[in-house]
């Protein structure tokens, strides 16, 4: 077992210093981040003028800093490798732990477990890789807990009510009670299903997210959106239900297929486009490092994505407005996923093509200039993500699925579109329908 030095309860507000650099980060320029409470009413761009992580300045600062890290809103540099991002939701607040080797730190998980029985929900791909490790972390010096697991088939096409029932069946067979804890171990599909199962089982039990894909780490595990698909539309059945914590062990990315990695990068690009120009520019410069799985680059992208998401969710948990902006490209993307068949494309792939379409439409409306269109296209191409929908998608298919999108209100489809300089977007139903038609026709053969 690796040394468990990166995060400890007692270090919450102080420096996180690794006695020995973790294996996966040893060769890379390392950096650390202070815990930041993200509950400011608005976000000035200055707040994110952090040094790019692979800069000389960062490395210098690390070697020069062994003093406690202050808890403020500016970027501080220590010498640990981990970070904590808070999702500030009053009594439903929770921390996101990000770091290497976190699954080797039993304390971190155990302090968020309620009751004596735990149900780990995972899938056939992840179970052989990480289930034992997670069970060990949950039971280490903790003989009173009982850990059960349910292993679901892997893939978006199984994200439905039928599969969900297997979680309930298992929980009831094992006589789980209201004081049990569900643990989601896997990607976005597992997180969404386990979260919804936790929301509905006995009308709500505690749960913990352990996302193992970049997609889940930068997006779906944070913010409490849970649910399953309906044959006619994605995520149409679910709940807003917050976890006790999100534990992101960046080491799990070592086993992630390239295509899944790129899919996660698609969502990270999204944050840059809708609200964080500096992050977008950082990604433009560091895309090769991300694709090469540079641990520090990945850790930075995850942290900054979680910060963006945590801030938005803190301000608008139930998606009454601002939170919808996180769905840039998703209305088009969900239509692709639904009409093309769940699981044919990964979520981030569909979202990438969807973002290009949303950007195209924004340009047709005259809301952005063409340099943004080009930069979006280029960065997604660099990330090996699709920039057009599958050839079988027709205008009719798009329209039919988009009509049941959750963002339709009283019959009006609202979209997230870019408007103004890079990093700005709007969520609106007030746009020229002609532009939408033109975009659909431009991206579909018929």
Catalytic residue of the set 141, 144, 162, 203: 203
Tell the smallest beta-carbon distance from residue 319 to its own copies (Å).
Answer: 8
Active site residue 309: yes
Binder of its own copies out of 12, 179, 259, 434 (CB under 8 A): 179
Question: Contacts with its own copies in 216-275 (CB under 8 A)?
Answer: 225-227, 230, 232-233, 235-240
Told to check if 434 binds its own copies by CB under 8 A, we report no
Binder of its own copies out of 1, 26, 161, 292 (CB under 8 A): 161
Catalytic residue of the set 159, 225, 234, 397: 225
Told to check if 377 binds its own copies by CB under 8 A, we report no
Active site residue 334: yes
Told to check if 70 binds its own copies by CB under 8 A, we report no
Told to check if 430 binds its own copies by CB under 8 A, we report no
Cα–Cα distance for residue pair 34/13, rounded to 1 Å: 8
Determine the 3-state secondary structure of 244 from DSSP: coil
Told to check if 396 binds its own copies by CB under 8 A, we report no
Six token digits for residue 62: 């690390």
Q: Give start and end residues of each alpha helix (H) in 229-345.
A: 258-275, 277-291, 295-315, 330-340
Q: Which is nearer to its own copies, 1 or 232 (CB)?
A: 232
Determine the 3-state secondary structure of 185 from DSSP: strand
Tell the smallest beta-carbon distance from residue 180 to its own copies (Å).
Answer: 9
As a residue count, the chain comes to 446
Q: Which is nearer to its own copies, 230 or 375 (CB)?
A: 230
Handedness of CA 413, 414, 415, 417 (dihedral sign): positive
Neighbours of 101 (CB within 10 A): 23
Q: Are 185 and 150 in contact (CB under 8 A)?
A: no
Tell the smallest beta-carbon distance from residue 325 to its own copies (Å).
Answer: 16
Told to check if 398 binds its own copies by CB under 8 A, we report no
With left for phi above 0 and alpha for psi between -120 and 50, is residue 107 left, alpha or beta? alpha
Q: Which is nearer to its own copies, 9 or 231 (CB)?
A: 231
**Looking at 21-29, 174-182, 247-255, 337-345, which segment touches its own copies (CB under 8 A)?**
174-182
Q: How many residues bind its own copies (CB under 8 A)?
A: 42
Told to check if 202 binds its own copies by CB under 8 A, we report yes
Backbone angles phi, psi at 326, to 5 degrees: -65, -10
Catalytic residue of the set 260, 317, 319, 349: 319
CA 26 distance to own-chain centroid? 25
DSSP-derived secondary structure for 64-127:
H--SPPP-SSS----S-S-EEEEE--GGG-EEEEEETTGGG-HHHHHTT--SSEEEEEEETTTI
Told to check if 15 binds its own copies by CB under 8 A, we report no
Neighbours of 220 (CB within 10 A): 25
Active site residue 37: no
Active site residue 57: no
Site track for its own copies across 86-115, x = CB under 8 A: -----------------------------x
Binder of its own copies out of 108, 199, 248, 368 (CB under 8 A): 199
Neighbours of 144 (CB within 10 A): 8
- Residue owning tokens 């039919």: 400
Six token digits for residue 206: 């505690």
Tell the smallest beta-carbon distance from residue 203 to its own copies (Å).
Answer: 5
Told to check if 165 binds its own copies by CB under 8 A, we report yes
- Residue owning tokens 């850990």: 147
- Per-residue buried b or exposed e for 299-313, using 16+ beta carbons within 10 Å of the residue's own CB: bbbbbbbbbbbbbbb
Active site residue 349: no
Question: Contacts with its own copies in 272-291 (CB under 8 A)?
Answer: none
Q: Which is nearer to its own copies, 70 or 403 (CB)?
A: 403
Cα–Cα distance for residue pair 419/274, rounded to 1 Å: 9
Catalytic residue of the set 35, 303, 309, 397: 309
* Residues engaged in binding its own copies (CB under 8 A): 115-117, 161, 165, 168-169, 172-173, 175, 177-179, 196, 199-204, 225-227, 230, 232-233, 235-240, 318-319, 403-404, 406-411
């Amino acid at each position: 077992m690796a040394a468990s030095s990166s995060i400890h309860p007692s270090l919450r507000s102080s420096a996180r210093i690794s006695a020995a650099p973790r294996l996966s980060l040893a060769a890379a320029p390392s950096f650390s981040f202070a815990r930041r409470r993200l509950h400011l009413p608005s976000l000035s761009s200055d707040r994110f003028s952090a040094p790019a992580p692979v800069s000389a300045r960062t490395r210098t600062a690390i070697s020069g800093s062994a003093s406690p890290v202050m808890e403020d809103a500016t970027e501080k540099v220590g010498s640990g490798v981990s970070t904590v991002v808070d999702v500030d939701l009053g009594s439903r607040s929770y921390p996101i732990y990000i770091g290497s080797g976190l699954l080797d730190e039993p304390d971190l998980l155990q302090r968020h477990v309620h009751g004596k029985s735990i149900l780990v929900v995972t899938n056939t791909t992840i179970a052989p890789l990480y289930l034992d490790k997670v069970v060990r972390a949950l039971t280490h010096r903790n003989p009173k807990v009982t850990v059960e697991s349910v292993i679901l088939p892997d893939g978006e096409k199984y994200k439905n009510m039928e599969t969900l029932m297997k979680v309930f069946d298992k929980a009831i067979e094992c006589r789980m009670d209201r004081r049990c804890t569900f643990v989601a171990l896997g990607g976005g599909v597992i997180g969404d299903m386990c979260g919804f199962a936790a929301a509905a089982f006995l009308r709500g039990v505690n749960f913990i997210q352990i996302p193992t894909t970049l997609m889940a780490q930068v997006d779906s595990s944070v913010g409490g959106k849970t649910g399953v698909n309906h044959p006619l539309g994605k995520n149409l059945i679910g709940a807003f239900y917050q976890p006790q914590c999100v534990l992101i062990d960046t080491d799990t990315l070592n086993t992630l297929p390239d295509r899944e990695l790129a899919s996660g990068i698609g969502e990270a690009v999204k944050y840059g486009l809708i609200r964080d120009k500096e992050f977008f520019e950082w990604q433009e410069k560091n895309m090769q490092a991300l694709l090469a799985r540079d641990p520090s680059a990945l850790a930075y992208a995850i942290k900054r994505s979680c910060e963006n998401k945590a801030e938005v969710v803190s301000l608008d948990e139930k998606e009454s407005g601002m939170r919808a902006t996180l769905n840039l490209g998703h209305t088009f993307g969900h239509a692709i996923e639904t009409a093309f068949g769940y699981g044919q494309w990964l979520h981030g792939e569909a979202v990438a093509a969807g973002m290009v379409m949303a950007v195209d439409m924004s340009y047709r409306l005259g809301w952005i200039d063409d340099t943004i269109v080009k930069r979006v296209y280029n960065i997604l191409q660099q990330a090996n993500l699709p920039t057009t929908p599958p050839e079988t998608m027709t205008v009719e298919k798009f329209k039919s699925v988009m009509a049941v999108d959750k963002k339709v209100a009283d019959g009006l489809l609202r979209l997230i579109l870019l408007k103004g300089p890079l990093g700005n977007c709007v969520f609106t139903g007030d746009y020229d329908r002609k532009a939408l038609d033109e975009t659909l026709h431009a991206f579909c053969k018929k």
